[in-house]
Amino acid sequence: MDMYQINFSKKGHVHFTGIGGISMSALAEILISEGFTVSGSDSKESALTEHLISLGAHIVYEQTSENITENIDLLVYTAAVKPDNPELQAAKSHSVPMLTRAELLGQIMKNYKTAICVAGTHGKTTTTSMISQVLLEEECDPTILIGGLFNPINGNARIGKSNTFITEACEYTNSFLSFFPTISVILNVKEDHMDFFKDIDDIRNSFRRFAELTPKDGFVIINSDIDEINYFTDNVDSNVITFGLSPEKSRYCATNVKYNRFACAEYDLTENGNIMAHIELKVPGEHNLLNSLAAVATCRSTGISYEVISKGLAKYTGTDRRFQFKGNVNGINIVDDYAHHPDEISATLKTAQNYPHNNLWCVFQPHTFSRTKAFLKDFAVSLSLADKVILADIYPARETDNLGISSETLLNELKALGCETYYFHTFSEIEEFILKNCINDDLLITMGAGDVVLIGDELISK
Euclidean distance between CA atoms 195 and 75, whole angstroms: 26
Euclidean distance between CA atoms 117 and 109, whole angstroms: 10
Q: Are 343 and 273 in contact (CB under 8 A)?
A: no
Instruction: State the catalytic residue, choosing from 17, 49, 121, 125.
Output: 125
Helix (H, G, I), strand (E, B) or coil at 319: coil
* 124 among known catalytic residues: yes
Give the closest residue to 250 by CA, choosing from 236, 231, 269: 269
Give the closest residue to 379 by CA, choosing from 396, 354, 362, 359: 362
Instruction: State the catalytic residue, choosing from 168, 344, 413, 431.
Output: 168
Euclidean distance between CA atoms 193 and 411, whole angstroms: 22
Euclidean distance between CA atoms 230 and 240, whole angstroms: 11
Give the closest residue to 157 by CA, choosing from 48, 259, 250: 48
Contacts of 224 (CB under 8 A, 6+ apart): 242, 243, 244, 246, 249, 250
Euclidean distance between CA atoms 39 and 14, whole angstroms: 6
CA angle 195, 201, 202 (to 5 degrees): 45
Instruction: State the catalytic residue, choosing from 87, 121, 124, 302.
Output: 124
* 168 among known catalytic residues: yes
Give the closest residue to 150 by CA, choosing from 326, 323, 320: 320
Strands of 114-119's sheet, edge to edge? 155-158, 143-150, 164-168, 114-119, 183-186, 219-223, 239-244, 252-259, 264-271, 274-284
User: How many residues in total does the chain contain?
Assistant: 462
Euclidean distance between CA atoms 411 and 429, whole angstroms: 16
Q: At what angle do helices 407-416 and 376-383 cross, to 10 degrees?
A: 60
Euclidean distance between CA atoms 179 and 175, whole angstroms: 8
Q: Are 51 and 73 in contact (CB under 8 A)?
A: no
* 271 among known catalytic residues: no
Catalytic residue positions, numbered: 124-125, 168
